[in-house]
Structure 1
């Protein structure tokens, strides 16, 4: 596999459904390669002084999506970040444009059972209302993830360590780490 031409700020954005391990992967790769990692949900919380759940409950999802876009725009001033994105970041077409202009999107593709196993505290996941709702939401979002992705890593039935090494290998081969 040959190296690809780098885009924008050289960020690597990890996208995928709730519980896919985006934050864990960004943190693991950041430690492995001494590269800075950030989480869009945590950045929104830091700028607002409130949790994602509180923002959803008081201001609504639309406002949260606007804040998410502002956070992505602010990352244009940074270089070479590993970015864990909230599961719904792909709901806003502008966010996909921003991510693709600043770097590459890695889709962590899993199924609903993987997500349900990983979600420890459902009360901190404002877009998780029930298992049935989560299944519908994943089916709605799956094509959005696929369209946004520059590369896809199948996470089904795999440990975070296995996924980290697999992803590191792919990103290294492509000259993105």
Structure 2
């Protein structure tokens, strides 16, 4: 059984989309930590954040991460954007498997986000386009040192989703 492959990066960078594509190409199972949190809590990530607070959300997120790692049944995992920045989550993922940072610019992420994508992310609600990019640039700068600890960093701005998948698959084959 292969070690887990954890996709990390800023919200909206394509972790869920690319995670599903990678799992399909590899013939492996797939999980999204945000979906697992929602399943466990019986509420959306946005509602957990709003009604129980970020601290509780991060605790549940860590419990979900630990379960995924300990069970070892899910080889491709998309993480929430803040998961690598909390506690020792990044070190935990690096010890358990291969981490892949999907790096994108704030401008590209803003273009990729649908109106629904903005609404479902609590920290982006109510921002106009200009405020959104400025907020993301500041937030990404804080998160970058955590994401940069990944085993593999992929600069995605100039690549199609298929090219990103091919690049990751080639690097995995080379032992990344």
TM-score (norm 1): 0.88
Take 2:86 and 2:99, find their aligned partners in 1: how far apart are those partners? 15
Take 2:165 and 2:172, find their aligned partners in 1: how far apart are those partners? 10
Residue 160 of structure 1 deviates from its aligned partner by: 0.9
| Gaps in structure 1 of 5+ consecutive residues | 1-5
Residue 79 of structure 1 deviates from its aligned partner by: 3.8
Conserved 8 A contact 1:65-1:89: yes
Conserved 8 A contact 2:90-2:146: no
Q: Deviations over 1:27-59 (max 9, x none)?
A: 001111110110000000001110000001101
* Equivalence for 1:26: 19
Conserved 8 A contact 2:33-2:80: yes
Take 2:138 and 2:71, find their aligned partners in 1: how far apart are those partners? 36
The size of the alignment, in residue pairs, is 167
Match of 2:122, SS? coil
Runs of 4+ that moved beyond 3 A = none
Q: Deviations over 1:124-174 (max 9, x none)?
A: 011224312222111111121112x11111101221111111111111221
Q: CA RMSD in A?
A: 1.7
Per mean C-alpha deviation after superposition, the further-off stretch among 130-139 and 111-120 is: 130-139
* Equivalence for 1:39: 32
* Equivalence for 1:151: 152
* Equivalence for 2:119: 123
| Gaps in structure 2 of 5+ consecutive residues | none
Q: Among 85, 96, 99, which residue is 2:93 paired with?
A: 99
